[in-house]
A and B are shown apart, each in its own frame.
Chain A
Amino acid sequence: MRGSLFGRWLLPVYSALAVILLLIPVVYTIVFSFNASVKSNILWKGFTLENWTHVCDARGVCASVANSLFIGVIATLIATAIGTLMAIALVRFKFRGRALVNILLFLPMATPEVVLGAGLAAQFLAVGFGKGIVTIIIAHVLFCISFVVVTVKARVASLDPALEEAARDLYGSSWQVFWRITFPLLLPGILAAALLSFSLSFDDFIITRFNNGGVETFPIFVYTAAAKGVPAEANVVASAVFILALVIVIVGQASSAARRKRLAREA
């Protein structure tokens, strides 16, 4: 296959086209954050920085972003803590019922969001628990846990248990071994899981819509506005989030590449 027409031309061109397809709406969203639109942000009306300098002028945008940030942070903290403990248990311990725990963790990921959302809403209705910011957080933690477990599990599995054994041989207590050895080594995995949780929470619409009561998150704001036209300020928020996330990913990749290089040099 090497050097063939397919390998040399067709595959790279096809892949490039696929990547371009992926990026079209991203570029569109960013470009239209600079649109001098008045009400609906569909036709190009000229370039302006106004939307960026006056993001909070559009009614509801900043309040909904604040709600989403708050919910995202709380849900991420809870889901990351719960999920990390489960991941450690699943990789480092043998116990009966492991398979069952794995299935229980897999199921929420295999359940369509409408079902998760409707189920929680039905339960809150049955017990008479009012919907609001608390129910949104409960729902977000639920769908984040499984993703945290998967992400952290991969990291735990790649750790050499000999490091912990060495610490114990040196009379480290279980507590010291965990905080001084295990936790720092797991940290990149935990951070990745937290980032994933936060982005899942920040962008969730379907489950949130079933459990939000009157609380408006950023996706709920966009959905409600979609019927009459989404203001360009929403594109500003999305573009800012995009740039921030991209910076985090690039810094993360660069620092892990630097670490690999350093380790290679030392070895």
Chain B
Amino acid sequence: MAFAALGSATGTADRTPLKTSRVAMLLLLPGLAYLLLFFLTPLVSLVVTSVEQPVPFGDVGQFQLAFNLQNYAEIGLHYLPHFARAGLFAILATFFALLISYPLAYFIGVKARRWPALQAVLLTLVIAPFFVSFLLRTLAWKAIMSDDSTLVSVLRSLSILPSDGHLTGTWFSVVFGLTYNFIPFMTLPIYASLERLDLRYLEAGSDLYASPASTFWRVTVPLSAPGIVSGTLLTFIPASGDYINASSSFLGSVQTQMIGNVIQSKFLETEQYPTAAAMSVALMAVIVVLVAGYVATTGTEDLL
């Protein structure tokens, strides 16, 4: 399982004695029933809803099955930019989160090993943002980057930002917000795999005359690959469906709307359920394909 890296070792089933699978089924039953009823069935409902059409002369929000793909065609006609932005923003956020998190995780997991107390403090600080409402943290950034903030006036006086330039409501603020939000999700799994890294491998690298850089790229990075894969998935997937950062009352504007913004407004504001459902199905399909391809090429199928 990709997220097992967050915990410790798994899969020691081999050394435990074989027991009857009937007990196992009994233990699994409530969970499987729950997932069937409230995860798989809703996905089917979503697919069914996505091929519905408005009832002729019916009220707003009334639909009937039509079995055609008109709602999907509408995505291609009007909402490709929103899909593209979602993909692009999520990729950028994943990249920047990795850039920030890897050295941080390396410091905590490898360099700070000699000081367990420092390790514990740093780990606590990394998860600390989780304990403050995610919406309020995003609003804090909005205030820090707002037009009359100190930050913006400094940037304007240094001519880094034009005198009428903004930080909020731009691609920058949305990608920044997404990056910020997912740094802990990136740092923790990478830390978990680096923390177990056997330092003798690094010594072996330098004994064999590898430069520190090539030891890093050819030993450290491959050994922490499971953490990198978990971290990038934990960032990319939620980021691609996020609509808080990109929404106008947070860090975004009309120009930064992602597919999540469209899905929520169609579903919750204008009650165009079929269009929203078609977009959700398309988003899910794209993500499943991307994730499967990514996991296959990084050669970490055993994550599942």
Contact = CB atoms under 8 A, between A and B. Distances in A.
Q: Which 5 pairs of residues, A with B, have the shortest CB-CB distance?
A: A112-B241, A154-B7, A119-B42, A93-B24, A95-B21
Contact of B45 (A81, A123, A146): A123
B224 interface: no
A145 B35 contact: yes
Nearest to A234: B136
Interface string A15-47: 100110111111011001000000000110000
B46 interface: yes
B263 interface: yes
B94 interface: no
B49 interface: yes
Contact of B180 (A21, A32, A125, A145): A21
Given A92-B16, A205-B134, A222-B133, A157 B8 contact: yes
B31 A83 contact: yes
What secondary structure prevails in chain B residues at the interface with A? Answer: helix
A158 B241 contact: no
A118 B263 contact: yes
A150 B188 CA distance: 14
A249 interface: yes
B129 interface: yes
A95 B134 contact: no
B288 interface: yes
A126 B48 contact: yes
A82 to B, nearest CB: 5
Contact of A203 (B133, B268, B280, B283): B133
Given A92-B19, A113-B241, A118 B276 contact: yes
Given A25-B138, A105-B35, A151-B6, 11 more contacts: A19-B125, A29-B140, A88-B27, A93-B27, A94-B24, A120-B38, A122-B48, A153-B10, A165-B17, A249-B124, A257-B116
A170 interface: no
B128 A23 contact: yes
A14 interface: yes
Contacts, number: 312
Nearest to A120: B42
A42 B101 CA distance: 30
A7 to B, nearest CB: 7
B11 to A, nearest CB: 7
Given A86-B28, A96-B21, A126-B48, A219 B128 contact: no
Interface residues of A, number: 103
A139 B10 CA distance: 27
Contact of A4 (B7, B144, B212, B242): B212
B144 A126 contact: no
Contacts of B217: none
Interface string B231-253: 00100011011111000011000
A160 B103 CA distance: 35
A109 interface: yes
Contact of B18 (A14, A94, A206): A94
Contact of A138 (B38, B46, B132, B276): B38
B84 interface: no
B184 to A, nearest CB: 7
Interface in B120-166: 120, 122, 124-141, 143-144, 146, 148
B9 interface: yes
B186 to A, nearest CB: 11
Interface string A185-202: 000000000000001000
Interface string A92-133: 111110010111111111111111101111110110000000
Contacts of A138: 38
B34 interface: yes
